[in-house]
Amino acid sequence: AQTVTQSQPEMSVQEAETVTLSCTYDTSESNYYLFWYKQPPSRQMILVIRQEAYKQQNATENRFSVNFQKAAKSFSLKISDSQLGDTAMYFCAFMTTFYNQGGKLIFGQGTELSVKP
Amino acid sequence: DTGVSQDPRHKITKRGQNVTFRCDPISEHNRLYWYRQTLGQGPEFLTYFQNEAQLEKSRLLSDRFSAERPKGSFSTLEIQRTEQGDSAMYLCASSRGLAGDGETQYFGPGTRLLVL
């Protein structure tokens, strides 16, 4: 069974600085998807970034980038130039692919990020 | 693209009562998912549909839980004889159900259930 582990329950960062959130996962599959979702306080889950395992290039979305290390089964999220609006719970998630009958997301426990002014 | 919507947003009920939640996915999204999220935890998968077919159910989905998607559009999740342990946020998500970008799931705002 696949598992996702986020070992940092809480983190804080000063506004405009860079922060990295860690995620490790376990799977025996060779192709899959990894996601980072953001859940602001009392607001809905929003997709931050998506990575396909067969792509060696790390995904980037504006100030958000990932460091995907497939052999180490590691998928960290780097937030550059942190903004107050980045304050949220961040979840790492794993999904098998469509062709492998994928469907459900398997989430980590989350990392609560606070951006300080 | 109006996003995933859920109704109601909040529900307070007494133990033993039945409750039903509704989810409207993004139009033209073939797949619809239900998750449960307890305070301070990541969401846990409950079940998902491809059009009207229920393809997978988690062992978390006890006999008291039932989900339907009768016409392949909106879905309902019913909990019978609610228990205090059912108190949680119930999240709905949808995706196009196609390989690649189409597998990305988009979430609704959730229904927060409190069982007294």
Q: What is the pLDDT of residues B47-77, one digit of tens each?
A: 999 999 998 888 888 899 999 999 889 999 9
Report the alpha-carbon distance of residue A24 to residue A93 in Å, rounded.
10
Using alpha carbons, list the distances in angstroms from residue B33 to A47, B8, B12, B75, B79: 15, 17, 23, 9, 16
- Using an 8 Å Cβ cutoff, are B15 and B30 in contact? no
Contact A94/B at CB under 8 A = no
Across residues A39-67, what is the average pLDDT? 92
Which parts of chain B register pLDDT below 50?
A: none
User: Which residues 58-87 of chain A have a CB within 8 Å of chain B?
Assistant: none
Question: B7 burial class (0-12, 13-18, 19+ CB within 10 angstroms)?
Answer: middle
The residue that leads in pLDDT, B31 or A100, is B31
Q: What per-residue confidence (pLDDT) applies to A29?
A: 85
- Using an 8 Å Cβ cutoff, are A25 and A5 in contact? yes
Q: What per-residue confidence (pLDDT) applies to A108?
A: 97
pLDDT band at A99 (very low <50, low <70, confident <90, very high): low
The reply to whether residue A44 touches residue B41, judged by beta carbons under 8 angstroms, is: no
Q: What per-residue confidence (pLDDT) applies to B101?
A: 66
- Using an 8 Å Cβ cutoff, are A41 and A88 in contact? yes
- Using an 8 Å Cβ cutoff, are B87 and B113 in contact? yes
In the chain, the amino acid numbered A74 is S
Token digits of residue A13: 């960062």
Contact A95/B at CB under 8 A = yes
Q: What per-residue confidence (pLDDT) applies to B8?
A: 97
Report the alpha-carbon distance of residue B60 to residue B76 in Å, rounded.
17
The reply to whether residue B31 touches residue A103, judged by beta carbons under 8 angstroms, is: yes
Q: What per-residue confidence (pLDDT) applies to B55?
A: 87
Residue A36 pLDDT > 70, yes or no?
A: yes
Instruction: State the nearest Cα–Cα gap between A8 and chain B, in angstroms.
Output: 13
Strand partners, B94: B32, B106
Q: What per-residue confidence (pLDDT) applies to B96?
A: 86
Across residues A57-73, what is the average pLDDT? 95
